[in-house]
Amino acid sequence: METSKVIHAIYTDDDVLMNAVKTVRSEKHHIEEIYTPFPVHGLDKAMGLAPTRLAITAFLYGCLGLAVAIWMMDFIMIKDWPQDIGGKPSFSFLENLPAFVPIMFELTVFFSAHLMVITFYMRSRLWPFKSAENPDPRTTDDHFLMEITVRNNEEALATLLKSTGAVEINIVDKNEDAH
């Protein structure tokens, strides 16, 4: 049976937290999650997290938006319903390209932005009406919480965390919190 106990180490300073993360990782302990009231620069690297691939998806979504814009303008303005606007007939897409550039730009940004938000929410598992998973409400104000999985090493881990500057250490059973 897999253990569901975790240690919550609470810190009151982000610099102390950064040093604690480096110390805990150097001791080969796995940090499950860190809850902070604001973004802490360099925390992802200190935790050993892989770089995000969201920028790649943003580029792909932008390319999709550009392709949709080109197809849409070619179909609507050239093939389906060509119009004589200001004395300039729509004979071909390339002849009208300068007029289409703003539309292409806007749809590129629109697709990239909207699909990135949807991707971020899905990747973060943030569904509508989802209840918060924050283990301690103080982390939305002025405290930092490091969550570490316990593997029959509670005392040694608690001693290590105290030495890193944790102001409070709690051992929590995640199964009890889920019910």
Per-residue pLDDT of the chain (179 residues), as tens digits, is: 456 789 999 999 999 999 999 999 999 888 999 999 999 999 999 999 888 888 899 999 999 999 999 999 999 888 888 877 777 777 788 888 888 899 999 999 999 999 999 999 998 888 888 888 888 889 989 999 999 988 888 888 999 999 999 999 998 887 765 54
pLDDT for res 177: 56
Same domain, 147 and 109: no
pLDDT for res 1: 42
3-state secondary structure of 22: helix
Is 42 part of any domain? no
pLDDT for res 95: 81
Domain that holds residue 157: 5-37+142-178
pLDDT for res 2: 56
Same domain, 12 and 62: no
Tell me how many domains the chain contains: 2
Q: H or E segment at 33?
A: strand 31-35
DSSP-derived secondary structure for 108-163: HHHHHHHHHHHHHHHHTT--TTPPP--S-GGGGTT-EEEEEE-SS-HHHHHHHHHH
**Residue 160 token pair:** 């290590």
**What CATH number does residue 16 fall under?**
3.30.70.120
pLDDT for res 176: 65
CA–CA distance, 63 with 67 (Å, rounded to integer):
6
